Amino acid sequence: MTITYKDADGIAGMRLAGRLAAEVLDYLTPFVVPGVTTNALDKLAHDYIVDVQGGIPAPLNYRGGGKIPYPKSICTSVNHQVCHGIPNDKALKKGDVVNIDVTVIKNSWHGDTSRMFIVGEGSIAAKRLCSVTYEAMWHGIRMVKPGIHLGDIGFAIQRFAEGQGYSVVREFCGHGIGQVFHEEPQVLHYGRPGTLEMLREGMTFTIEPMINAGRKEIKDGPEKDGWTIVTADRSLSAQWEHTVLVTPTGYEVLTLSAGSPPAPAFVAEAFVPASPAIA
Q: What SS3 string covers 86-120?
A: CCCCCECCCCCEEEEEEEEEECCEEEEEEEEEECC
d(Cα 186, Cα 103) in Å, to the nearest integer?
A: 17
176 neighbors 134 (Cβ within 8 angstroms)? no
**pLDDT for residue 271:** 44
**pLDDT for residue 277:** 37
High-pLDDT (> 90) share of the chain, %: 93
Residue 12 has pLDDT above 90, yes or no: yes
Residue 3 resides in a domain: no
Residue 279 resides in a domain: no
Specify the amino acid at residue 248: P
254 neighbors 125 (Cβ within 8 angstroms)? no
Question: Which residue blocks in the chain are alpha helix, DSSP H?
Answer: 8-28, 38-47, 124-141, 150-163, 265-270
Cα 11 → chain centroid = 19
Burial class (CB in 10 A: 0-12, 13-18, 19+), 279: buried
**pLDDT for residue 268:** 73
**pLDDT for residue 17:** 98
Residue 267 has pLDDT above 60, yes or no: yes
d(Cα 210, Cα 189) in Å, to the nearest integer?
A: 8
Confidence band of 66 (pLDDT split at 50, 70, 90):
low
Total number of domains constituting the chain? 1
Residue 264: phi and psi, rounded to 5, are: -60, 155
For all residues of the chain together, what is the average pLDDT?
94
- Sequence length of the chain is 279
**pLDDT for residue 210:** 98
Residue 89 φ/ψ region, left for φ over 0, alpha for ψ in the -120 to 50 degree band, beta for the rest: alpha
Residue 209 resides in a domain: yes
Long-range contacts at 40-46 (CB < 8 A, ≥ 24 apart): 41/74, 41/76, 41/87, 41/100, 42/72, 42/73, 42/74, 42/76, 42/87, 45/73, 45/74, 45/100, 45/102, 46/73, 46/74
**pLDDT for residue 214:** 97
59 neighbors 198 (Cβ within 8 angstroms)? no
Specify the amino acid at residue 236: L
Residue 67 has pLDDT above 80, yes or no: no
Instruction: Give the CATH number for residue 177.
Output: 3.90.230.10
Beta bridge partners of 219: 230
d(Cα 212, Cα 223) in Å, to the nearest integer?
A: 20
Residue 2 resides in a domain: no
**pLDDT for residue 274:** 39
Residue 188 resides in a domain: yes
What number is the average pLDDT over the span 240-255? 97
Residue 79: domain span? 8-270
Residue 277 resides in a domain: no
Residue 1 resides in a domain: no
